[in-house]
Structure 1
């Protein structure tokens, strides 16, 4: 898909806001009703907002504040946590360290990655399972680690609920993805986007057009705006403006694979034209890195064959890291 042909066009549309509180305290019919709304959103653009998610607003605010604290550190303090030294993709990624859109300049952003904490004798660590390893924490920021670990825990629980909602939306048992999600390789990524410079390269973006690599993404964004979603039917971009106390949810490549493109991962990008710093915290909801994912049989029409071969998180992520990271 050549999404650059009509880059200047912005569709005047909006994404649905879905109240998922039934997945916290509702009965099964209420959850099914929410799942039907999610199904319509997934069949349309694969992007939607969720409210009623149950993550405390104070924890959300504290997490954004911690992102600002981290990125305000001197460069040498951040580089001491360079993720290039981590076998598990944990730590700091410097400005312009990734190019998500082929042929464009490197992305105008810097990042910090956190994963699940495991004890040193965990069997997954000992056998060198992909993506498992130690986090790199900044010693200069008291309270930083505690806040991010609390947020990571809350988001892992929310990710499980959304997996259940997606399963119901496909007419599957609510626990269909439970085995896949039993030992998830979730990732919290804090991102700082400086303002778009004056007279930039025409293809320079905070984050180039791409689809997400994994299962689901739950995006926390500040009030700056800049996220845009590709609308295939309109041949244009949709602005996904920040909505207070919501998350933007989007489907990743593995949902396309599970569903044989019944649900598809959607191209999106970030261009920070706000004139100020932008901070976001995407949480990537993934599963066991060694779990083989293949097409869900009920997503195949009679006589239809899967569009994608079976694969694992580990295999797909290794390929995408090689393709997009610049060092």
Structure 2
């Protein structure tokens, strides 16, 4: 593998499947991260979404807090600045964010763990724009999972019925300008993601760093047409660490750049809440014995981790 995180064109999944699957799988085995271009989500759609998200975060603090649901783990709506704290970190992250979840019928079997979305009435077009981006990223994530499934000898559609009601989250984030140089906090402390895979749209602002296998921090600032996709802990556990969930962070930029706000929008793709995360037999080998003797449901795992990062 190169010392640089690869970027691949997902259109090759249709035109050059075998080679694409091999290259994508190798990138994830080495890095747990890859850039995906040729994804088909129009730049205009992404730009319009960011414009709306910026308008929301520019609202007065008391207006935004009307959409905060205490005790909900930030599942839907607004989470204020200074709440989320990376696991084992002493200092909270320098960010505020909003959560959009899957729209499901309120008589669904998952309704008790997947609450209804909140929508800011101050920005009428927020709902259509945000959920449009949610749907586009959900579909792209399904294609990436199809390629990853093939790479480890599973059927292409292995994940389809395990994620079709997934408790996935679109998270527009605002990192406000940093006005002092001597704070111990960073925009996002070193962490791994909880879910199956994360798709980060609009990752062209610098600050994201990925920890290599050698323990070095590698900056990963993607081109504007590229979506960064990384492995989360649930997929790492399911694949017995064949696909590693790599530590990453968002560092504070130097000098005057720190005085600028930063925005990013990850999409956290989750399995259905009752999906049982049990190590896939095909990933257990003499060199890689089973690391997790006990299975756990996706919802049970999620709740465990939300407590660790101070959201519950």
Which residue matches 2:233?
Answer: 253
Which residue matches 1:318?
Answer: 303
- Which deviations, in whole Å up to 9, do the C-alpha atoms of 1:251-279 show, x marking residues without a partner? 00011111111111000011231331100
CA distance in structure 1 between the partners assigned to 2:18 and 2:40 by the alignment: 18
Aligned pair in 2 of structure 1 residues 304, 261: CA closer, same or farther (>3 Å)?
closer
The 5 A counterparts of 1:173-188 are 173-188=155-170
CA distance in structure 1 between the partners assigned to 2:195 and 2:302 by the alignment: 8
SS of equivalent residue, structure 2 residue 39: coil
SS of equivalent residue, structure 2 residue 296: coil
Two-structure CA RMSD over aligned residues (Å):
1.9
CA distance in structure 1 between the partners assigned to 2:252 and 2:74 by the alignment: 29
How far residue 73 of structure 1 moved from its aligned partner, in angstroms, is: 0.8
SS of equivalent residue, structure 1 residue 84: coil
1:288 aligns with 2:269: no
| Aligned counterpart in structure 1 of residue 212 of structure 2, from 226, 231, 251 | 231
How far residue 178 of structure 1 moved from its aligned partner, in angstroms, is: 1.9
How far residue 224 of structure 1 moved from its aligned partner, in angstroms, is: 2.7
- TM-score, normalising length from structure 1? 0.88
Count of residues in correspondence between the two structures = 306
Unmatched runs of 5 consecutive residues or more in structure 1: 1-11
Equivalent residues of 2:203, 2:228 under 8 A apart: no
| Aligned counterpart in structure 1 of residue 263 of structure 2, from 253, 276, 279 | 279
CA distance in structure 2 between the partners assigned to 1:133 and 1:158 by the alignment: 24
1:21 aligns with 2:1: no
Runs (4+) off by over 4 Å: 85-88
CA distance in structure 1 between the partners assigned to 2:288 and 2:123 by the alignment: 54
- Which deviations, in whole Å up to 9, do the C-alpha atoms of 1:109-137 show, x marking residues without a partner? 00100001123333432xx2x2x111111
How far residue 325 of structure 1 moved from its aligned partner, in angstroms, is: 1.6
- TM-score, normalising length from structure 2? 0.92
The 5 A counterparts of 1:95-106 are 95-106=81-92
1:116 aligns with 2:102: yes
